[in-house]
């Protein structure tokens, strides 16, 4: 089923919308949640929460493409769950490593949700990503959107871990310059 048809089902308040969304985007949303949480049960709960959040958000929004809309919801829910779970046990998984790598570039005040919703920062990041060549953009997104480990990225791209690390380092330096030029200070 096409995205526009699924959105129409949401707007008609048909429960079939959730079934169709789960069939088409379940694996995609699960991979985002699992990349953050590394736990099957928590990831499945976040995906189910994504469907309910989409159900609630749909009357106000009518996204043309569901994948970024659902991906953003899933990522936000997963990060919230990760923050709650890691409040007691700091430093587990790829999330703190990836966020720490970006700490010199992106302003933080400890509130990840505020950062994700900052329109100015989002626009600046989108322009930065558009300026990267395809491979650099994919490596950057795999690390900082999906929180994939460096070793996994290297294996998937058929390159060395040191090349992935160097690409990420150079991208972060370029990002910092870009954000400073855009007036977004760390």
pLDDT in tens, the chain (186 residues): 899 999 999 999 999 999 999 999 999 999 989 888 888 999 999 999 999 999 988 867 788 888 888 988 998 898 888 877 766 555 455 666 666 666 666 655 545 445 444 556 777 788 899 999 999 999 999 898 888 889 999 999 999 999 999 999 999 999 988 888 877 665
DSSP output for 86-135: HTTSTT-SHHHHHHHHHTTTS--SS-HHHHHH-HHHHHHHHHHHHHS-HH
- DSSP letter string, 36-70: HH--HHHHHHHHHHHHHHHHHHTTT---S-HHHHH
Tokens of 49: 């929460």
Domains defined along the chain, listed by start: 3-86 (1.10.1740.10), 94-182 (1.10.10.10)
Is the pTM here over 0.85, yes or no?
no
How does DSSP assign 129-175, residue by residue?
HHHS-HHHHHHHHHHHTS---HHHHHHHHTS-HHHHHHHHHHHHHHH
> Which residues does 184 contact at the CB level (< 8 Å), separation at least 6?
106, 107, 120, 121, 124
Identify the pLDDT of residue 185: 63
Copy the structure tokens of residue 152: 């996994």
Place of tokens 């760390």: 186
């Amino acid at each position: 089923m096409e995205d526009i048809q699924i959105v129409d089902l949401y707007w008609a308040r048909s429960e079939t919308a959730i079934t169709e969304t789960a069939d088409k985007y379940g694996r995609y949303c699960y991979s985002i949640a699992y990349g953050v949480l590394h736990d099957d049960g928590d990831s499945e709960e976040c995906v189910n929460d994504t469907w309910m959040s989409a159900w609630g958000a749909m009357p106000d929004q009518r996204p043309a493409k569901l994948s970024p809309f659902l991906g953003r919801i899933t990522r936000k829910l997963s990060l919230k769950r990760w923050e709650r779970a890691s409040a007691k046990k700091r430093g587990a998984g790829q999330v703190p490593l990836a966020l720490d790598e970006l700490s010199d570039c992106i302003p933080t005040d400890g509130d990840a949700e505020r950062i994700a919703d900052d329109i100015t920062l989002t626009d600046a990041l989108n322009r930065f990503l558009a300026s990267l060549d395809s491979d650099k953009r994919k490596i950057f997104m795999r690390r900082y959107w999906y929180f994939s480990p460096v070793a996994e990225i290297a294996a998937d791209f058929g390159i060395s871990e040191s090349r992935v690390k160097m690409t990420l380092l150079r991208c972060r330096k370029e990002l910092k310059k870009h954000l400073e030029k855009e007036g977004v200070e760390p």
